[in-house]
Structure 1
Amino acid sequence: MVEAAKSQFSASETIGALLARNASSYGSNIAIREKERGIWKETTWAEYAEEVLACAAGLEKIGVKPGKAVLILGDNRARLYGGMLAISLLGAYAMPAYPGATIEELQHFLSEVEIVAAIAEDQEQVDKLLELRSASASGIAHVIYDETRGLGSYEDDGLMSWDHLIKVGLDYLNLDPHRRDELLNRAKPEDPAIFLHSSGTTGKPKGVVLSQKNVLAAARNGHAAGVYGEDEDILAYLPMAWVGDYAITVAAALMFRFTVNVPERQETVVRDMREIAPTFYLAAPRSWDQMLTTIQVGMENSTPLKKWFYHFFMDRAIAAETRKLNGHSGGALEPLGRFLGEALIFGPIKDQFGMSRLRSAFTGGEAIGEDTFVFYRALGIKLRQFYGQTENSAITAMQAPNEVRLHTVGKPAPGVEVKIDASGEILLRSESVFDGYFNKPEASAEALVSGWLHTGDAGYLEDNGQLVVLGRVSEVMHTAGGERYVPNYIENRLKFSPYIKDAAVVGAGRNELTAMICVDFEAVGHWAEVNGVPYVSYSDLSQRDEVAALIRPAFERVNKAVTEPLHLKRFVCLPKEFDPDDGEITRTRKLRRKVVEERYADVIAALYDGSAEVHVSAQVAYETGEMGKVERNLPIREV
């Protein structure tokens, strides 16, 4: 399979060459469809290539060139994806940002590279860009917007609609009959494909420029590993600033001719996914958890007969899948039982959530809970785990369908070499590895040594070649007694509980471990309603004794899985969730440990000084930009 992939695609391929191939050889196939006002609008590869070329020509006309950047700001939109491809044709930097990025975060991007233009989704993002432009010495000269609603009266300099940009581009293309081919063949494999950023858990995010060679090599590696095939139907709903979205929705989709389906809005993703029924689906553990919670809530509200059938088939399927994951055989549903279960329970659930055609389903970004993982596999969805990072174009290791274990992330993909150094750090080598952090030679020298990428993750390889990831090397800590532990490893296992959204484990240099918990408002709120537990707000619900009893089993399960010196002794439920706008977590929901420990220093002190409760005044950033506080007395709970 690897050799077939190598023979089909050359290492000298570029985004422009693949776009030309798809337009000429598969021009009538659907490249992208987008839902607008309830209707799916389809664009063929021939039409898509023409629009990308017109966009590239228009951007070049307004001053986009190599060494300059174009900011992409908004939720998933077909035109924003086309804009990223167009920028790649010019050899410039396409720089997507999270839709919720603040002015301060965007100003950091402006300090890295000259951003000459921006492509925005709608009025909200245009307003943000205009504010950014007025607050910065080096302004963004041109702002192109997709959705016109609310922008008709705007007269700011450099503001133009997508349609106007395309008209400018088409006029420029039609001046020279050779310009289309020249644009498609201009960029080289070493030229940039995308300008992303690291998570920024320990400081400002670092710029990560992935070349066209990097992202296309990763796409080939993923195909060779059997992650996806050709002509997949996928849903484009992941944040455009996350490497996982680019790797699948842009690079792999271009190379293997996926049909990319863009939902109408983030709020309609579940409904739109049911209509599309994708063949490939990648989601973070949190998304799989939320879907499971929705299924369970729905079953709780159904008739007694439906609940009986649900538990009759699901309980047996879950038990069989659990035995299989633990290396035991036997106990699976008989063929007739599976057939009836599929007809009555499994099939309707998968159809309701748009999973009836799934051939490949993956989860990544962090560890997934056993209950969630087992549930989907019992349902008949062969959910698998994968491991990757921005610096390696997202695709590193993944589980094969018949080699699934909860504690591993699978074997390295073909084209990716993995080894573990003396300190236990995971090292990678592949064509998909970047060339270094943007304008940060010292950080680059630390990350890339003798051709090997130092991932910063601790882990090990099992005898069968399966990779186990423990957590960040920088987060390996020791108790006062010298016991070694990785907080993130324990935190992820606490989050296996559907009632715990986030956790921060504390204990470095101390005699025992404790934790600060953010409960999941949706899951706990539903549980409270079903069980008659009254509450008026998140801060009120999180401090209820009944809720403490609800999440205590999660601590007990963790304590059974770790050695006695690493047992969690006490915990406190915080009165608000960790929020990226408050700086406590990143946009990808990774904990900013230093910020959290500084902000909740009084809470941490109370966890160790014998206090029965602690008063906390927590900072909250509202959507208006105003700052507020949540004040509450928090009981200190014993595990």
Structure 2
Amino acid sequence: MREFTAPPLTTVPQAGGLADSVFERAEKDPGQVALARKDSDGVWRDVTAARFRDEVLAVAKGLLAEGVRFGDRVAIMSRTRYEWTLFDYALWTVGAQSVPVHPTASSEQVVWMFSDADVTAAVVESEDHAMTVGAAIGQLPLLKRLWQLDAGAEEQLRAAGERIDSEVVHRHRMALTPDTVATITYTSGTDGRPKGCVLTHSHFMSECDNVSAFCRPLFSSGLKRPPSTLLFLPLTHVYGRMVQVAALRAGVRLGHQPELNAEALLPDLRTFRPTYVLAVPHLFERIFDGSRRAAELEGQADAFGKAVDVAVRYAEAVERRAFGEGPGPGAKLRMQHQLMDRLVYARLREALGGRLRYAVSGGSSMDRRLALFYDAAGVRIFEGYGLTETTSTVTTNPPEQTRFGTVGRPIPGTTVRIADDGEILVRGGQVFAGYLRDPAATAQALRDGWLATGDLGELSEDGYLTLTGRKKDVLVTSGGKSLSPTVLEDRVRSHPLVAQCVVVGNDRPFVAALVTLDPDAVAHWLAMHERQAPSPTDLVNDAELEREIRRAVVGANTQVSRAESIRTFRILGHRFTEEQGLLTPSLKLRRRAIEKAYEHEIDALYRAA
């Protein structure tokens, strides 16, 4: 299959913008719960549609009073929190354009994005962020206003806007059209400087409304309470913004959590109790690994292993039945599944809040066996695929027919084509307008109405997309062998002790790898082997640990030919971090930066071999 089209299920309105849904929802059902906001005591307090509308209106008045005008660009530099959504919609209400800036951005990155986007005002979360912007203020002549959330920005703007009549705000809102620019969202910058993607209100409407229609079970929970989701993805990325907009347009109760890690997130999952979440594979891996370590500490390692085996076989049987390829789980397997549900799976669901039934995974590849395990445990995870340039989602798995190991089918209103060289091309209402002030890059990305994604993939006969790598990441050894490193890296990374894996080999005689370790998993491994924790230097040279990692490498090599296999590897003492400039804010590897930072280690690998 070279091309697959999914007809649209919804159409974009002829007039208006994203903020209209807030006002229309409050008018239709003012008492309906729209969001939940955690108070200083850690208790979730519901926010009705009418109250959120009033808060958006009050902040919008303040923005106008402080000089923000239709078409102005205002940066938001903050972690994911309630006020992020509040300011986003207040800006859209007055026709301004939000410019998300990641909270860990440096002054240099701030200067680039603020200057490139002609930012005239900024909302920051903390004093640290204010200092980052302040350090660059001399290079930002257009920046006139700076508000700090932790210093009462919301209250200040409410007070400033008291003299503004509501009708003035509504005139701004009514002037919006779907083609009005909503945001300038910058790419992750894995290759050089980030580029500003111009996304309109129409792009979000087309994306979010079609996703909501396609994934209807997410928005009709089947439980006594209405659907709800806890948003912990960064709102500085389009994936998080899509979740925000889709939830508010579909009438889903929306909560915010600022930390994208299992340790901080699990307590809020238990108290907020969402019916679905959207996340990245790393989170599901961490939760699974934590459950496995807990079972091992309780002396239940064999029982947990059996539970995993039963889950995988059960979910595979259910999957085959969904596609008309089998009768489903047999009587014996159903009984085993029921037993494991009481012993293992129910505990996992309870740790996730007890009401979670669906999850969407995106951002990177998810291990098929892991997805099968969660499915049999009562949480269906369906993978999706998208980019900043496509307002997030291009494909996702249908809830009723999830084909694990793929990133699903094109969402309604989208066409996916596979070019002759394997590159994924996309056409649809969610495809961006172009890169801000970069016509050359825009022309390279948008060709005859198609977005060239830079990703490689394959389409099945029924339209399911499988990702096979990135064009720019393809390695060519000195012997002329071309390979995509993703398959090897994902398989090595699936080992519990491994945090990250980078495959190298460009212009080299063979393929090698750099591997970093998961500190929690290593600590657990040492405790289970009744060993004291050695120094980092001794740890990376530990023979027993190296044998464990070698097993992961050997397992990965079974997926490829010998010419593509990892011949040697090195364990590093520290993980790659965003602070080092080795990861993007969305935790993607900056390959070129890693190869440069570890140039001596890579050279040593090849000399030793």
Normalised TM-score (structure 1): 0.87
Measured in 2, the distance between the counterparts of 1:471 and 1:40 equals: 41
Instruction: Specify the alignment match of 1:168 in structure 2.
Output: 160
**Residues 41 and 170 (structure 1 numbering): CA distance in 2 closer, same or farther, change over 3 Å?**
farther
| Residue 80 (structure 1) aligned with residue 84 (structure 2) | yes
1:183 to 165, 172, 179: 172
> Is this contact kept in 1: 2:457–2:469, CA < 8 A?
yes
| Residue 199 (structure 1) aligned with residue 188 (structure 2) | yes
**Residues 539 and 199 (structure 1 numbering): CA distance in 2 closer, same or farther, change over 3 Å?**
farther
Equivalent residue letter for 2:207 = A
Instruction: Specify the alignment match of 2:350 in structure 1.
Output: 351
**Residues 538 and 214 (structure 1 numbering): CA distance in 2 closer, same or farther, change over 3 Å?**
farther
Measured in 2, the distance between the counterparts of 1:349 and 1:416 equals: 35
> Is this contact kept in 2: 1:190–1:213, CA < 8 A?
yes
Instruction: Specify the alignment match of 2:482 in structure 1.
Output: 484
Measured in 1, the distance between the counterparts of 2:270 and 2:487 equals: 34
Partner SS, residue 428 of structure 1: strand
> Is this contact kept in 2: 1:88–1:194, CA < 8 A?
no
Partner SS, residue 118 of structure 1: strand
Measured in 2, the distance between the counterparts of 1:83 and 1:576 equals: 38
Superposed, 1:157-556 pairs within 5 Å as 161-173=153-165, 178-226=167-215, 228-229=218-219, 232-249=227-244, 251-263=245-257, 268-302=264-298, 304=299, 310=304, 313-322=307-316, 330=329, 334-354=333-353, 356-556=354-554
Measured after TM superposition, the shift of residue 392 of structure 1 is 0.5
CA RMSD of aligned residues (A): 2.4
**Residues 347 and 479 (structure 1 numbering): CA distance in 2 closer, same or farther, change over 3 Å?**
same
Measured in 1, the distance between the counterparts of 2:160 and 2:517 equals: 52
Instruction: Specify the alignment match of 1:605 in structure 2.
Output: 603
For CA contacts below 8 A with separation 6 or more, give which structure has more relative contact order: 2
Measured in 1, the distance between the counterparts of 2:104 and 2:557 equals: 37
Measured in 1, the distance between the counterparts of 2:496 and 2:366 equals: 11
Instruction: Specify the alignment match of 2:223 in structure 1.
Output: none
**Residues 578 and 332 (structure 1 numbering): CA distance in 2 closer, same or farther, change over 3 Å?**
farther
Measured after TM superposition, the shift of residue 112 of structure 1 is 0.5
| Residue 29 (structure 1) aligned with residue 14 (structure 2) | no
Measured after TM superposition, the shift of residue 261 of structure 1 is 1.1
Instruction: Specify the alignment match of 1:144 in structure 2.
Output: 147
**Residues 265 and 583 (structure 1 numbering): CA distance in 2 closer, same or farther, change over 3 Å?**
closer
Measured in 2, the distance between the counterparts of 1:287 and 1:178 equals: 45
Measured in 2, the distance between the counterparts of 1:470 and 1:10 equals: 36
**Residues 369 and 187 (structure 1 numbering): CA distance in 2 closer, same or farther, change over 3 Å?**
same
Measured after TM superposition, the shift of residue 386 of structure 1 is 0.6
Partner SS, residue 396 of structure 1: strand
Equivalent residue letter for 2:240 = D
Equivalent residue letter for 1:236 = L
Measured after TM superposition, the shift of residue 293 of structure 1 is 1.6
- Describe the superposition over 1:436-493 as per-residue Cα deviations: whole angstroms up to 9, x where unpaired: 0111100000111111111111112112211111111122232233222112332222
Equivalent residue letter for 1:341 = M
Instruction: Specify the alignment match of 1:92 in structure 2.
Output: 96
Measured after TM superposition, the shift of residue 78 of structure 1 is 1.0
Measured in 2, the distance between the counterparts of 1:60 and 1:444 equals: 33
- Describe the superposition over 1:258-299 as per-residue Cα deviations: whole angstroms up to 9, x where unpaired: 111123766642111111211111111111111112212222
- Describe the superposition over 1:376-432 as per-residue Cα deviations: whole angstroms up to 9, x where unpaired: 123121111111111001111111235434432111111111111122111111111
Paired-residue identity, %: 27
> Is this contact kept in 2: 1:11–1:213, CA < 8 A?
no
Measured after TM superposition, the shift of residue 350 of structure 1 is 0.7
> Is this contact kept in 1: 2:101–2:236, CA < 8 A?
yes
> Is this contact kept in 1: 2:474–2:482, CA < 8 A?
yes
**Residues 18 and 537 (structure 1 numbering): CA distance in 2 closer, same or farther, change over 3 Å?**
farther
Runs of 5+ consecutive residues of structure 1 not aligned to the other structure: 149-159, 612-639
Partner SS, residue 347 of structure 1: helix
**Residues 421 and 336 (structure 1 numbering): CA distance in 2 closer, same or farther, change over 3 Å?**
closer
Measured after TM superposition, the shift of residue 34 of structure 1 is 1.4
> Is this contact kept in 2: 1:519–1:542, CA < 8 A?
no
Measured in 2, the distance between the counterparts of 1:503 and 1:313 equals: 28
> Is this contact kept in 2: 1:403–1:410, CA < 8 A?
no
Partner SS, residue 255 of structure 2: strand
Deviates more, 1:314-323 or 1:507-516: 314-323
Instruction: Specify the alignment match of 1:70 in structure 2.
Output: 74
Partner SS, residue 547 of structure 1: helix
- Describe the superposition over 1:533-564 as per-residue Cα deviations: whole angstroms up to 9, x where unpaired: 33355454333222211221211111111012
Measured in 2, the distance between the counterparts of 1:332 and 1:502 equals: 40
**Residues 332 and 397 (structure 1 numbering): CA distance in 2 closer, same or farther, change over 3 Å?**
farther
Measured in 2, the distance between the counterparts of 1:54 and 1:411 equals: 41
**Residues 307 and 137 (structure 1 numbering): CA distance in 2 closer, same or farther, change over 3 Å?**
closer
Superposed, 1:528-607 pairs within 5 Å as 528-607=526-605
Equivalent residue letter for 2:340 = G
- Describe the superposition over 1:29-61 as per-residue Cα deviations: whole angstroms up to 9, x where unpaired: 111111122222222111111211221221122
- Describe the superposition over 1:130-157 as per-residue Cα deviations: whole angstroms up to 9, x where unpaired: 3333x53426322222223xxxxxxxxx
Instruction: Specify the alignment match of 1:121 in structure 2.
Output: 125
> Is this contact kept in 2: 1:11–1:217, CA < 8 A?
no
Equivalent residue letter for 1:567 = S
**Residues 212 and 559 (structure 1 numbering): CA distance in 2 closer, same or farther, change over 3 Å?**
same
Instruction: Specify the alignment match of 1:636 in structure 2.
Output: none
Instruction: Specify the alignment match of 1:615 in structure 2.
Output: none
Measured in 2, the distance between the counterparts of 1:492 and 1:308 equals: 25
**Residues 4 and 387 (structure 1 numbering): CA distance in 2 closer, same or farther, change over 3 Å?**
closer
Partner SS, residue 561 of structure 1: coil
Runs of 5+ consecutive residues of structure 2 not aligned to the other structure: 1-5, 221-225
Measured in 1, the distance between the counterparts of 2:264 and 2:189 equals: 30
Instruction: Specify the alignment match of 1:622 in structure 2.
Output: none
> Is this contact kept in 2: 1:117–1:140, CA < 8 A?
yes
Measured after TM superposition, the shift of residue 576 of structure 1 is 1.5
Normalised TM-score (structure 2): 0.91
Measured after TM superposition, the shift of residue 223 of structure 1 is 1.6
- Describe the superposition over 1:220-252 as per-residue Cα deviations: whole angstroms up to 9, x where unpaired: 221232163265301021111111110012x20
**Residues 15 and 494 (structure 1 numbering): CA distance in 2 closer, same or farther, change over 3 Å?**
same
Runs of 4+ aligned residues of structure 1 deviating over 4 Å after TM superposition are: 2-5, 264-267, 306-314, 322-337, 536-540
> Is this contact kept in 1: 2:15–2:176, CA < 8 A?
no
Deviates more, 1:343-352 or 1:518-527: 343-352
Equivalent residue letter for 1:83 = F
**Residues 203 and 486 (structure 1 numbering): CA distance in 2 closer, same or farther, change over 3 Å?**
same
